Amino acid sequence: MFLVIPLVRAVFRRQVTGRDLLLMGLLGQIAFSLYFWLQYTVVQKTNASISSILVVGLIPVVTAFLAQFFGEARQTCITPS
């Protein structure tokens, strides 16, 4: 609810299109439903500590993979000098 005012302001200033709103809603639904489905499935198969590591700990890895897959970022290897 905190972000409703800035969102409405951006819509009125035409900074956010209807397509953007649709994508935000779709991605929000997918993200939450996928997250909780994965969490509950892993909890059924293992204990809570392993579940938290698998579900919460892998979010940055999956995000980096998807960003590379969709061409938003390029993975580079940082080597110590």
| Helix boundaries (H) for the chain | 4-12, 18-45, 48-57, 59-69
Q: Is the pLDDT of residue 60 over 70?
A: yes
Q: Is the pLDDT of residue 52 over 80?
A: no
Global pTM?
0.50
Q: Is the pLDDT of residue 24 over 80?
A: yes
> What is the C-alpha separation between 19 and 44, in angstroms, rounded?
37
pLDDT, residue 65, reads 80
Q: Write down the domain spans for the chain.
A: 4-69
Average pLDDT, the chain: 80
